[in-house]
């Protein structure tokens, strides 16, 4: 019997070529695995293609709900935007795929799992580290790092082996799930050029967006969105609907220079309509219900959580420890936020919460207020005392030097 390997299979050029390459160069039985994470692929069609390439077996799994509940929602609670921009759609999905690869490998008694990542990106780290942490004895193979084929050579190889690959003329590399879409390659590698409109699918051009703004109200419970415009919705359906609404207004486009884990600066284009709206709404609600001290410290925790996930350390114990703190803060992040969408932008215009720390009677500038202004003078004196003393000393030393 031949050894078995489990391949993370998308149905695209790289992973289709990988099937034949593994069969010919390693003499193994290839078992393919495809996971639906909201990218709306035809799992049946992908399975048929895998079988047409003589795979030993094929697994299809719809992990969209698990992805949202166990990966996306924690990201919302952590306000996870890598370098302040990227909602980490791909980064959040990879550890879930890796976990399923391990489960299938153990079920099939496979010797290795295989992915189609290059040696330049972040995904190779996310797959390799997660697999090795979950199954230290399981080998991880990344043939694209070793075979040295260019895209043209891959296409030639595919034609020679009778592998049907659609959109061979498409110059872009695209990864998509429910939380967002990333677009790379082609003219986008020229950082001094504006992206062509043809690359976008989830968002309309802000110039072509409706001239009339639209409002959406999002209800949160324990830091997670549970209702949209007064209607309670299941997590996946809520994100799908918000993607549709916000994308119609051109909300969610990101174009930035990103620092990859491997040290390369990369020009990245993302579309994430629902993610942008939900992140902005969540951060706004946190400001209303958390204290200044909680907010200041949570920024540090959020940043570290985001960094861990981006750099492939989802499985690291520190992430779980950080989430314990984050989850504790989210107990009070309940309420509604009204967001305004217009011409590529979204911002909060109203918010309410039963846990609100905002007190109008304290904040009002009217004469009748619960705030005793007489306290201000003593507070200012004590608050500024260290600064005052330091400057007195500074002037004293300056005069002594002049003498």
SS3 85: coil
Q: In terms of Cα–Cα distance, which of 43, 46, 126, 55 is closest to 89? A: 126
41 burial via Cβ count (<10 Å: 0-12, 13-18, 19+): middle
CA–CA dist 156, 158 (Å, integer): 5
Sort strands 335-342 and 214-221 into parallel, antiparallel or unpaired: antiparallel
**Pick the catalytic residue: 94, 253, 332, 351?**
94
**pLDDT value for 119:** 85
Our answer to whether residue 173 is catalytic in this structure is yes
| Tokens (6 digits) for 300 | 């540090």
Distance CA 26, CA 39 (A): 31
128 is catalytic: no
**Quick one: tokens of 22?**
């593994």
Nearest CA to 86 among 265, 257, 241, 285? 257
The pTM of this model reads 0.92
The per-residue pLDDT for 367 is 62
Q: Which two tokens stand for residue 133?
A: 């942490």
- The domains located in the chain, with CATH, are 4-169 (3.40.50.620), 174-290+332-352 (3.90.1260.10), 360-398 (1.20.5)
Roughly how many angstroms between the first and final C-alpha of the chain, as a whole number? 94
| Closest by CA position to 162, among listed 10, 16, 56, 28 | 16
Whether 272 is a known active-site residue: answer no
pLDDT, residue 167, reads 60
Question: Catalytic pick from 14, 128, 284, 302?
Answer: 14
Provide the pLDDT for residue 41: 87
Rounded Cα–Cα distance for residues 357 and 103 (Å): 46
Q: Catalytic: which of 16, 123, 284, 302?
A: 123
Active site residue 94: yes
Q: Which of 60, 173, 213, 352 is catalytic?
A: 173
Phi, psi of 140 (to 5 degrees): -115, 125
Q: What is the pLDDT along the chain (403 residues), one digit of tens a residue?
A: 799 999 999 888 889 999 999 999 999 999 999 999 999 888 999 999 999 999 999 999 999 999 999 999 999 999 999 999 999 999 999 999 999 999 999 999 999 999 999 888 899 999 999 999 999 999 999 998 888 788 788 888 888 888 887 665 567 888 999 999 999 888 999 999 999 999 999 999 999 999 999 999 999 999 999 999 999 999 999 999 999 999 999 999 999 999 999 899 999 999 999 999 999 999 999 999 999 999 999 999 999 999 999 999 999 999 999 999 999 999 999 999 999 999 999 999 999 999 999 988 777 666 677 778 888 889 999 999 999 999 999 998 988 888 7
Cα(232)–Cα(218) distance, rounded to whole angstroms? 10
Strand 4-8 and strand 112-114: the pairing is: parallel
∠ CA 230-340-40, nearest 5°, is 70
What pLDDT is attached to residue 186?
Answer: 86
């Amino acid at each position: 019997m031949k050894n078995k390997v489990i391949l993370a299979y998308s149905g695209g050029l790289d992973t289709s070529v990988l099937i034949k390459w593994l069969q010919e160069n390693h003499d193994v039985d290839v078992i393919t695995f495809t996971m639906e994470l909201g990218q709306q692929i035809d799992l049946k069609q992908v399975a048929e293609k895998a079988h047409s390439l003589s795979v030993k077996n094929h697994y299809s799994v719809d992990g969209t709900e698990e992805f949202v509940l166990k990966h996306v929602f924690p990201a919302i609670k952590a306000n996870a935007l890598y370098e302040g921009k990227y909602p980490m759609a791909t980064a959040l999905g990879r550890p879930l795929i890796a976990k399923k690869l391990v489960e299938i490998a153990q079920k099939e008694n496979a010797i290795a799992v295989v992915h189609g990542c290059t040696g330049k990106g972040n995904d190779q780290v996310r797959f390799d580290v997660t697999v090795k942490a979950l199954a230290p004895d399981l080998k991880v193979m990344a043939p694209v790092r070793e075979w040295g084929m260019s895209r043209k050579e891959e296409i030639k190889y595919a034609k020679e082996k009778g592998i049907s690959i659609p959109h061979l003329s498409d110059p872009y590399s695209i990864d998509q799930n429910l939380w967002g879409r990333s677009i790379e390659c082609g003219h986008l590698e020229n950082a001094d050029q504006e992206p062509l409109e043809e690359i976008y699918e989830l968002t309309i051009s802000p110039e072509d967006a409706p001239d009339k703004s639209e409002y959406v109200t999002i209800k949160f419970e324990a830091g997670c969105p549970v209702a949209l415009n007064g209607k309670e919705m299941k997590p996946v359906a809520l994100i799908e609907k918000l993607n549709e609404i916000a994308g119609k207004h051109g909300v969610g486009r990101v174009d930035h220079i990103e620092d990859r884990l491997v040290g390369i600066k990369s020009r990245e284009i993302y579309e994430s309509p629902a993610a942008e709206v939900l992140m902005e709404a969540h951060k706004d609600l946190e400001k209303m219900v958390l204290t200044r001290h909680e907010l200041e410290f949570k920024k540090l925790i959020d940043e570290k959580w985001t960094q861990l996930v981006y750099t492939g350390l989802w499985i690291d114990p520190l992430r779980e420890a950080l989430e314990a703190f984050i989850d504790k803060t989210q107990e009070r992040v309940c309420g509604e936020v009204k967001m305004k969408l217009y011409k590529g932008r979204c911002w909060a215009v109203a918010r309410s919460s039963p846990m609100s720390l905002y007190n109008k009677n304290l904040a009002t500038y009217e004469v009748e207020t619960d705030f005793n202004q007489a306290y201000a003078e003593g507070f200012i004196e004590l608050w500024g005392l260290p600064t005052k003393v330091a400057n007195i000393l500074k002037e004293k030393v300056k005069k002594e030097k002049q003498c």
